[in-house]
């Protein structure tokens, strides 16, 4: 579909710009201030981003993801232009960089839930998984292209040029999204058949969600989204699982792999080998889901991917104990990175698609904001714990603890029959299951 392709092009340029920004900000900070302040500057962007995710979801529900994404990219373009000028004039200070990080983080808090919600506004229910999978492939590609491109620009030019390139990429994203058609869902199968009394009791009545005469405040709409999540056990379980999995997986894979390679003497090539295998596996799994039209046992496939993540992370932590020759350890570590990536590709794509499809039309942005928050809130915690555990014990400990945590989350999720039997790509069954679960939850709250 042409509008899906335009959205993917706009998403690609925006994500590449984001990765160039992160590299450029870190590099300028390193040249400007102390290592401790570099960390504080990067954290200064993460805190407002996480704080605004839920509010950003409210605005997605109010004005739609298209306007939210375009507004975010326009603001990011302006921020990059201003700082390109500031850096070019040599007027850089730690406080100014922290301001950049805060402003960018605030805008990102609106951008991320809008991007996550967009597939629901682009295609019918039975095509959402394929679009989410395509977005996952684009995201991985931007990750691998953006950081090296940013480093190359800094090498051959300057930080001012890198910020200018960012501004151009964000502007291209605005242009592509401006000509992309996104239709706000007017009515979904999930909402059809929900009892009016139950919805009213849960604070989720259709009149509350879509009233054009008396628009509730942002805080009221945020509270409605939280009540929806509390009233729907399957959705609540998925959000908790996402947080726990990121807690167990994110730190070991992103921070722990370099620490493990250094401690064991595997060398820097192992870092690229493991992370490259991870990216390849994630892209391959997403590619399969983009190719496969229907996947009937969605819950089982996602949980299988989750189990693969847990086994791979735990095995990486156990690998040094086998004292393999360097070449064998190098090969096995790369294979485990590949299997972890395949697991993430299935689990991440299917969970995102599931949440998108079961969210009521009036609450898509808020639900996706909550999903993004569950994922992002765990990142600084797991990064810090990985470094702390490595310093106190060894680099193997974060992998062993994190892998077991992921396997525990997979076991708990598998024990939930509603999660295990999720089937989102067969419209009739998906709608029936989601409607039944959400109706029962709403009725329980009303009582």
Tell me 139's DSSP state: H
Residue 201: inside a domain, yes or no? no
Higher-confidence position of 108 and 213: 108
- List the structure tokens of 30: 């390193």
Instruction: Read off the pLDDT of residues 38-85 as tens digits, 9 standing for 90 and up.
Output: 777 877 888 888 889 999 999 999 888 999 999 998 999 999 998 899
pLDDT score of 200 more than 80 = no
Same domain, 86 and 147: yes
Residues 49 and 179 in one domain: yes
Q: What is the pLDDT of residues 131-173, one digit of tens each?
A: 999 998 998 888 778 878 888 888 898 889 999 999 999 999 9
Instruction: Name the more confident of 209 and 336.
Output: 336
Distance CA(284)–CA(100), nearest Å, equals 35
Q: What is the pLDDT of residue 425?
A: 53
Flag whether pLDDT at 274 surpasses 90.
no
Asked if pLDDT for residue 442 goes beyond 80, the answer is no
Contact criterion met (CB below 8 Å) for 337 and 277:
yes
User: Are the CB atoms for 403 and 340 separated by under 8 Å?
Assistant: no
Q: How many whole angstroms separate alpha carbon 150 and alpha carbon 176?
A: 22
pLDDT(201) > 70: no
3-class DSSP assignment, residue 190 = coil
Residue indicated by tokens 């525990």: 408
With contact defined as beta carbons under 8 Å apart, do 104 and 76 qualify?
yes
Q: Residues 270, 149: one domain?
A: no
| Residue 176 confidence (pLDDT) | 92
**How sure is the predictor about 184, in pLDDT bands with cuts at 50, 70 and 90?**
low
Maximum Cα interatomic distance, the chain, rounded to a whole number of Å = 71
Q: Pick the residue with more confidence: 430 or 174?
A: 174
Q: What is the DSSP string of 287-320?
A: HHHHH-S--S-HHHHHHHHHHHHHHHHHHHHHGG
Based on the fold, state whether residues 35 and 167 are members of the same structural domain.
yes
- Residue pair 333/319 in contact (Cβ under 8 Å)? The answer is yes
pLDDT at position 129? 87
DSSP 8-state assignment for residue 325: -
Stronger pLDDT, 421 or 13, i.e. the higher one: 13
pLDDT per residue over 102-136, tens digit each?
999 999 999 999 988 999 899 888 788 889 999 98
428 lies in a domain? yes
Confidence check: pLDDT of 286 > 80: yes
| Proportion of the chain above pLDDT 90, given as a percent | 31
Helix axes 257-264, 364-392, angle to 10 degrees: 20
Q: What is the pLDDT of residue 246?
A: 92
Contact at 8 Å (CB) between 397 and 320? no
Would residue 321 count as lying in a domain?
A: yes
Indicate which CATH number applies to the domain containing 165.
1.20.1250.20
Whether residues 174 and 231 fall in one domain: no
- 323: phi > 0 → left, psi -120 to 50 → alpha, else beta; which? left
Answer yes or no: is 194 within a domain: no
Exposure string over 331-361, b if 16+ CB within 10 A, otherwise e: eebbbbbbbbbbbbbbbbbbbbbbbbbbbbb
Q: Is 104 exposed, middle or buried (0-12, 13-18, 19+ CB in 10 A)?
A: buried
CA nearest to 422, candidates 185, 235, 231? 235
Q: Show Cβ contacts of residue 183 under 8 Å, excluding neighbours closer than 6 positions.
A: 121
In this structure, are 315 and 441 located in the same domain? yes
Distance CA 235, CA 397 (A): 31
Residue 427: pLDDT band by 50, 70, 90 thresholds? very low
d(CA 339, CA 259): 20
SS3 label, residue 124: coil
Question: Do residues 247 and 405 lie in contact, with contact meaning Cβ atoms separated by under 8 Å?
Answer: yes
Tokens linked to 322:
């086998």
Q: How far apart are CA 112 and CA 15, in angstroms?
A: 10
Q: Is 339 a member of any domain?
A: yes
- What CA–CA distance (Å, rounded) separates 40 from 43? 5
Among the candidates 184, 199, 217, a domain finishes at 184
Domain count, the chain: 2
Q: Based on the fold, state whether residues 162 and 82 are members of the same structural domain.
A: yes
| C-alpha R_g of the chain | 22
Report residue 222's pLDDT band, with 50, 70 and 90 as the boundaries.
confident
For 79-117, the DSSP string reads HHHHHHHHHHTT---HHHHHHHHHHHHHHHHHHHHHHHH
Same domain, 230 and 377: yes
Long-range contacts of 266-269 (CB under 8 A, 24+ apart): 266/326, 266/329, 266/330, 266/333, 267/326, 269/330
Final residue belonging to a domain, choices 184, 208, 238: 184
Query: How far does the chain reach from its first CA to its final CA, in angstroms?
Result: 46
pLDDT in tens, 394-414: 999 999 999 999 999 999 999
- The answer to whether the CB of 34 falls within 8 A of the CB of 76 is no
Residues 307 and 241 both lie in one domain:
yes
Q: Judge whether 116 lies within some domain.
A: yes
The DSSP string of 215-260 is PPPHHHHHHHHHHHHHH-HHHHHHHHHHHHHHHHHHHIIIIIHHHH
Boundaries of domain holding 59: 2-184
383 in the same domain as 257:
yes
In this prediction, residue 408 carries a pLDDT of 94
The predicted structure's pLDDT at residue 358: 81
pLDDT in tens, 9-46: 999 999 999 888 888 888 888 888 876 677 778 778 88
Q: Is the pLDDT of residue 193 over 70?
A: no
* CA-to-CA separations, 447 to 272, 315, 440, in angstroms, rounded: 55, 48, 11
Same domain, 135 and 243: no
Q: Is the pLDDT of residue 187 over 60?
A: no
Q: Is 191 contained in some domain?
A: no
Are residues 180 and 238 both part of a single domain? Answer: no
**Domain boundary residue, one of 131, 165, 184:** 184
Residue 123 placed within a domain: yes
* pTM of full prediction above 0.85: no
């Amino acid at each position: 579909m042409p509008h899906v392709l335009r959205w993917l092009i706009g998403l690609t340029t925006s994500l590449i710009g984001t990765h160039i920004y992160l590299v450029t900000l870190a590099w300028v900070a390193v040249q400007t201030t102390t290592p401790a302040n570099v960390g504080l500057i990067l954290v200064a962007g993460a805190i407002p981003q996480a704080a605004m995710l839920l509010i950003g979801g409210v605005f997605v529900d109010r004005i739609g993801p298209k306007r939210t994404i375009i507004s975010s990219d326009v603001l990011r373009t302006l921020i990059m232009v201003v700082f390109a000028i500031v850096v070019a004039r040599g007027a850089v200070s730690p406080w100014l960089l922290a301001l950049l990080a805060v402003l960018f983080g605030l805008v990102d808090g609106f951008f991320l839930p809008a991007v996550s919600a967009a597939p629901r506004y682009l295609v019918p229910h039975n095509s959402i998984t394929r679009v989410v999978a395509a977005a996952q492939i684009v995201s991985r590609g931007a990750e691998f292209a953006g950081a090296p491109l940013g480093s190359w620009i800094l090498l051959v030019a300057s930080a001012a040029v890198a910020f200018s390139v960012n501004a151009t990429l964000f502007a291209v994203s605005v242009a592509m999204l401006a000509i992309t058609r996104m239709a706000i869902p007017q009515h979904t199968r999930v909402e059809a058949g929900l009892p009016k009394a139950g919805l009213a009791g849960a604070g989720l009545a259709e009149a509350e969600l879509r009233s054009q005469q008396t628009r509730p405040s942002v805080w009221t709409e945020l509270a409605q989204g939280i009540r929806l999540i509390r009233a729907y056990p399957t959705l609540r379980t998925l959000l908790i699982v996402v947080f726990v999995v990121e807690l167990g997986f994110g730190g070991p894979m992103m921070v722990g792999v370099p620490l493990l390679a250094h401690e064991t003497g595997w060398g820097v090539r192992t870092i690229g080998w493991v992370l490259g295998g991870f990216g390849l596996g994630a892209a391959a799994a997403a590619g399969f889901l983009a190719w496969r039209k229907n996947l009937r046992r969605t819950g089982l496939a996602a949980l299988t991917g989750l189990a693969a993540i847990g086994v791979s992370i735990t095995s990486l932590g156990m690998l040094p104990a086998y004292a393999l020759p360097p070449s064998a350890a190098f090969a096995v570590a790369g294979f485990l990175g590949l299997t972890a990536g395949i697991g993430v590709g299935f689990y991440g794509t299917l969970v995102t698609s599931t949440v998108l499809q079961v969210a009521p039309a009036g609450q898509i942005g808020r639900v996706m904001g909550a999903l993004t928050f569950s994922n992002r809130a765990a990142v600084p915690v797991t990064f810090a714990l990985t470094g702390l555990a490595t310093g106190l014990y060894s680099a193997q400990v974060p992998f062993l603890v994190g892998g077991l945590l992921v396997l525990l989350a997979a076991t708990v999720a598998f024990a939930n029959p509603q999660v295990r039997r999720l089937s989102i790509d067969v419209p009739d069954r998906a709608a029936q299951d989601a409607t039944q679960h959400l109706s029962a939850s709403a009725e329980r709250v009303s009582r």
